[in-house]
Structure 1
Amino acid sequence: MEEAKLWTKNFFSISICNFFLFMNYYYLLVTLPIFVIQDLKSSEAEAGLIAMVYLFAAIVTRPFVDQFMEKLGKQKMLIISLVIFLIASISYLFVSSIVLLLIIRFLHGIGFGIATTATGAIVADIVPESKKGEGMGYFILSSNVAMVIGPFLGLTSLDHWGSFVMLVIALICSVGALLTGGIVNLHEMKPKLNKRELFKVNFSFEKLVEVSAFRIALIAAFLAFAYSTVLSFVSVFAEKMNLGAGSNLFFVVYAIVLLISRPFTGRWFDRYGANVIVIPCIVSFAFGLFILSMANTSFIYLLSAVFIGLGWGTLFPSFQTMAIQIVPPQRRAASLSTFLSIFDIGIGLGSFLTGAVVVFTGFTSLYFYTSLYVLVGLVLYCLFVQHRFARKPKSLEHDRKSSLQQ
């Protein structure tokens, strides 16, 4: 029997599309606040709204994406979202006020929310069941690489070429996302609907939210709260500790660890099940944060990146795969939108609250207590999620099919 292929044209195209989406996201995440303060002469508080508006738009949009995918198909929804994404990127070139920028960011966030839900749902469908963990791992690796390249390229372009060129490069990323997303070719059966049926939205809770994904999403959001301390403040911490040249290499080491470990962790997830991967990775994440709290040299600082990369870098694709495996195929998009919305809330709250807390605790105490917080997350996982994934993915798939037939 021929083994199912992972690296198909569709999988490669959707992964590159995802890379460009997140390149644009991380690129503008670090450059737009500077643009707001320097070019639009706005305050730091107004600059802080830029990320919040974007995230808010994505969160409120995602629960409705599944319904329109059922009517229009995943491929068409992806193209629509990428066009919205592109229009927003073009609009940045003509921004003259903070109010206009906030409107564009909201539109951009809508495109991002739809696109990331669509790409995740498409990958969930095209990746073979026997390679689900490996496939989702490689797919999410594309956003991890973007997380490293995006901020570096953004700050470099802003420093050397100015804000206009910076915005043009962001636009090029959007064009790349549309071109690679447009290559994806799915064979979908779509119902014939009139305009009234097409735009009719069901606001019932069970239609907007996939309850089965709640526990996994809440655990992921709980741990994402901890990761937000790294995402938001690890570079500031390095500067405060005077760690020198190594301070700029944290996410480079993080990405290298992911590139090396991903082929193994994805296959082990598929072969042995989620718990074999998730539990050690939560421990690795906590240990990495503990090491970070003790960092007084570049070596220790970068060593923490190894454990955090192996821990959190493996946890996120694992949780997303679990959110897909726990529901029938027709509810995958709903499950993903539920998972990503709750996850984004965790990241957003973490960035906001830890920014207030670190003023009183300092960075060393922040990372030490965050490492203990992650261990609480391990206990919660073992209490509320572990039993559901005690068997291998194939067993889960068999149970799901059996329940559908009953």
Structure 2
Amino acid sequence: MSGAMSWPFLRLYLLVLLYFSANSLLNVIIPLQGGALGATNTTIGLIMGAYLFTTMLFRPWAGQVIQKFGPIKVLRIILILNGCALILYTCTGLEGYLVGRMLQGVSTAFFSMALQIGIIDALPEKDRSQGISLYSLFSYIPGIVGPFLALGIWQSGMEYFSIVMIVIAVSTGLFGYSARIDRKEKANSSNETESNIQTFASFGELYKNPHLFKCSILMLIGSIVFGAATVFVPLYADQIRNGNAGIYLGLMAITVVVCRFTLRKNIPSDGKWHSGFMMITMLLLALGSQFVSFSVTGGVVFFYIGAIQMGIAQALLYPTLTTYLSFVLPKFNRNILLGLFIAMADLGVSLGGVIMGPLADIFTYSIMYQICAIMAALMIIFSYDNRKVFVD
């Protein structure tokens, strides 16, 4: 095997699988534990949202730090921090969960940037979309069995939760310590001040650069919907006759994994904006959210069909936009701008808990998911652009 499927890259994908396996458990257990302790949807949303909100804050600097010190040095430090966060969950309550989510957020900001920048820099242009898709694919594989394992832990007793968290922390650290990422270029440390200024100046590119602006808005809204599904489905499933959160999240994860593997060569990797492709993706997201909303009266079939539709949209949206930006963003600050874009994805998932939690408290879960469907439907129109080529 060669290119994105060669052994050095497969090792990186396996590390991604281990790293994100903890989240597949925490995404189910924290909402259930919070509900059992009497926490409101607003509180649960804040705790869950703290993870990627913190990630978002650290993203813009992650690429710069990695470029200066090297991905391996940063990766080893980050895996230690991540291990501390996972162990913290085993000995604290809701307050500790909040701190743990924030520590995980810092870790993920640097971890994901190190691997994604390494993949983009190491692969030829024609293989970029495959590499990014496979990275995303392996980050979702734990979501296939994780929800079922989380529900089993929840029903059997939280003492098993502590054992699993410690095992994941240790195994991820040991496997990550042996990882290798080749660097094609080394940063010039004498330009550190200039780079810092460039980082702050790059924030303005979120609205000045039309490519980054369009992709960021699409990713933000899409991530809000994904975040709302991840955070509140474990609680919403109880309101649906025969509904099962583990089946929903597992089905969604399976769909993401299958689509990202089978469709990885169909994701555009030519630096062109494909309006039809993006409009269909956002249509699937809108339908998925609407089906989930309607399932409380329509039945569990709509619930699970919504999971499949959301899974397809999630499989396509992130790698498509990331690959497109890797072509059209200026090379001199591409890493920083990619960090800003990924930060918008983080912000969206975070807002999916922080904003949608109060809406679920004020209205119902069903109405909250219908609001998500309306937001996604508006993005169908926003996705359209009659210019086929954006590259200047």
How far apart in 2 are the matches of 1:203 and 1:42? Answer: 46
| CA 1:202–1:156: 2 relative to 1, 3 Å | farther
Flag the structure with larger Rg. 1
Moved more, 343-352 or 98-107: 98-107
TM-score, normalised on structure 2?
0.82
What is the correspondence of 1:166-315 to structure 2 with a 5 Å cutoff?
Answer: 166-181=161-176, 182-191=178-187, 193=189, 201-202=196-197, 205-207=200-202, 211=206, 212=209, 213-242=212-241, 244=242, 248-270=246-268, 275=274, 276-295=276-295, 296-315=298-317
Matched, 1:155 2:154: no
How far apart in 2 are the matches of 1:337 and 1:205? Answer: 12
1:110 aligned to which of 96, 106, 112: 106
Contact 1:255 1:309 in 2 (8 A): yes
CA shift digits 1:150-170 (9 cap, x unpaired)? 33323323432523x313322
In the TM superposition, structure 1's runs of 4+ consecutive aligned residues that sit over 6 Å from their partners are none
| CA 1:329–1:80: 2 relative to 1, 3 Å | farther
Measure how far apart 1:72 and its partner are: 0.9
How far apart in 1 are the matches of 2:45 and 2:150? Answer: 17
Contact 1:292 1:300 in 2 (8 A): yes
How far apart in 2 are the matches of 1:344 and 1:171? Answer: 26
Measure how far apart 1:61 and its partner are: 1.5
Moved more, 216-225 or 320-329: 320-329
TM-score, normalised on structure 1?
0.80
| CA 1:192–1:324: 2 relative to 1, 3 Å | closer
Matched, 1:83 2:93: no
How far apart in 2 are the matches of 1:240 and 1:97? Answer: 26
Question: Per chain length, whose mean CA-contact separation is higher, i.e. which structure has more relative contact order (CA < 8 Å, sep 6+)?
Answer: 2
Q: Quote the residue 1:357 is aligned against.
A: 359
Contact 1:27 1:170 in 2 (8 A): no
Matched, 1:316 2:318: yes
How far apart in 1 are the matches of 2:277 and 2:382? Answer: 16
How far apart in 1 are the matches of 2:60 and 2:101? Answer: 19
How far apart in 2 are the matches of 1:264 and 1:331? Answer: 32
Determine helix, strand or coil for the equivalent of 1:367.
Answer: helix
Q: Quote the residue 2:57 is aligned against.
A: 60
Gaps of 5+ in 2: none
Q: Quote the residue 2:141 is aligned against.
A: 145
| CA 1:192–1:300: 2 relative to 1, 3 Å | closer
Contact 1:148 1:255 in 2 (8 A): yes
How far apart in 1 are the matches of 2:328 and 2:251? Answer: 33
How far apart in 1 are the matches of 2:244 and 2:161? Answer: 26
Contact 1:265 1:277 in 2 (8 A): no
How far apart in 2 are the matches of 1:51 and 1:35? Answer: 12
Contact 2:32 2:235 in 1 (8 A): no
Determine helix, strand or coil for the equivalent of 1:186.
Answer: coil
Matched, 1:125 2:121: yes
Determine helix, strand or coil for the equivalent of 1:317.
Answer: helix
**Aligned AA for 2:147?**
P
Measure how far apart 1:208 and its partner are: 6.1
**Aligned AA for 2:288?**
G
Contact 2:133 2:260 in 1 (8 A): yes
Contact 2:238 2:244 in 1 (8 A): no
Measure how far apart 1:204 and its partner are: 5.1
How far apart in 2 are the matches of 1:170 and 1:58? Answer: 20
Contact 1:17 1:176 in 2 (8 A): no
Determine helix, strand or coil for the equivalent of 2:182.
Answer: coil
How far apart in 1 are the matches of 2:344 and 2:127? Answer: 26
Contact 1:214 1:338 in 2 (8 A): no
Measure how far apart 1:232 and its partner are: 2.9
CA shift digits 1:344-369 (9 cap, x unpaired)? 22222232222222345434444344
CA shift digits 1:209-242 (9 cap, x unpaired)? 7544333112210222233332233344432131
RMSD: 3.4
Determine helix, strand or coil for the equivalent of 1:133.
Answer: helix
Measure how far apart 1:12 and its partner are: 1.0
Percent of pairs with identical residues: 19
How far apart in 1 are the matches of 2:360 and 2:30? Answer: 24
Measure how far apart 1:83 and its partner are: 2.2
Contact 2:31 2:231 in 1 (8 A): no
